[in-house]
Amino acid sequence: MSQLEIDDVYASVGGTQILKGVSLTVKQGEVHAIMGPNGSGKSTLSYVIMGHPKYTLDKGDIRLDGESLVGMPPHERAKRGLFLAFQYPQEISGVSFASFLKNAYGAVHENGKKMSVKDFLSDVKEKMRLLKMEDAFIERYLNEGFSGGEKKRSEILQMALLQPKIAVLDETDSGLDIDALKTVSQAIQVSAKTANSGLLIITHYQRILKYVNPDHVHVMAHGRIVKTGGHALAEELEEKGYEAFTKG
Ligand code: ADP
Ligand code: MG
């Protein structure tokens, strides 16, 4: 069984230390939620996990199945089974969504290079139905002119195709209307179950957690995890607000 270990991580960006000793272990099949106010370092943590070059790991270690990921480029991490759904997906002009998906799949899975385009597209389309996306969508340029909701669906479509061991979802729920939230949450659940993925769900709101029930909820403040609990903690946060947990 795979596991991602975040071990006493200190990290900085632009010369400022943002993460100040974060430890967390996510195992395959588990659902963890990280909640916390704006600016507490949640996205920073997701970038550090994926190895974004702008972020520096000052101290600590990140391991997947015991192997340190420190210094490893993002595509190598993806190959080993990590996936990140971005809070703000990038628009890439001139690259169709379909060819992007084929490349991403081929880069992560050995059989991807051998798979016929026809077989690949039929797999993609099956997953698109799960997300209630129109077939014609994959002919468009990646994220270009996609609405907020379409970008989020596209991120989850990638997750469903890549079948990661561990997926980090950074505010996948923000900007989705109620129906879209339900569709996307169900797709996350089905895809995580199929691949037995471990999930690290970063969110502001409890609402996504009603659909994707977390085993563990962590509160992040000032670059640290200040409290960990079960699902009830998410409800408590919604009721009391973050302030009760973030003071000091
Ligand atoms: P969250 O996702 O919890 O809202 P972030 O991880 O995005 O928080 O940001 C944490 C802190 O890091 C914020 O204070 C933010 O301004 C700062 N930060 C993020 N990116 C940069 C950067 N490139 N340079 C300097 N500070 C940054
Ligand atoms: Mg963020």
User: What is the pLDDT, as a whole number, of residue 171?
Assistant: 94
Q: Say how many C-beta atoms besides its own lie within 10 A of residue 62's C-beta.
A: 25
Ion ligand 2 neighbours (CB, 5 A) are: 42-43, 87
Q: pLDDT above 90 covers what percent of the chain? A: 75
Ligand 1 lined by 43 (C-beta under 6 Å):
yes
pLDDT value for 248: 57
Residue with tokens 């200190």: 10
Q: Phi and psi of 205, rounded to 5°?
A: -120, 150
Return the ligand number nearest the Cα of 174. Answer: 2
Tell me the C-alpha distance between 9 and 206, whole Å.
26
Cα–Cα distance, 147 to 242 (Å, whole number):
30
Locate the ligand 1 atom nearest the alpha carbon of residue 47 and give its number.
6
Q: What is the pLDDT of residue 197?
A: 98
| Exposure on the CB side of residue 127, measured as CA atoms within 13 A | 26
What's at 130, amino acid-wise?
Answer: L
Q: What is the pLDDT of residues 107-160, one digit of tens each?
A: 898 887 788 889 999 999 999 999 999 999 999 988 888 888 999 999 999 999
Q: Is the pTM of this model over 0.85?
A: yes
- Strand extents, DSSP E, 14-107: 16-27, 31-35, 55-64, 67-68, 82-85
Could you tell me the residue range of the domain that residue 184 belongs to? 3-246
Which regions in the chain score pLDDT beneath 50? none
Rounded Cα–Cα distance for residues 171 and 175 (Å) = 9
Structural domain count of the chain: 1
Q: What is the CATH number of the domain that holds 49?
A: 3.40.50.300
CA of 43 to the centre of ligand 2 (A): 4
pLDDT > 70: percent of the chain: 100
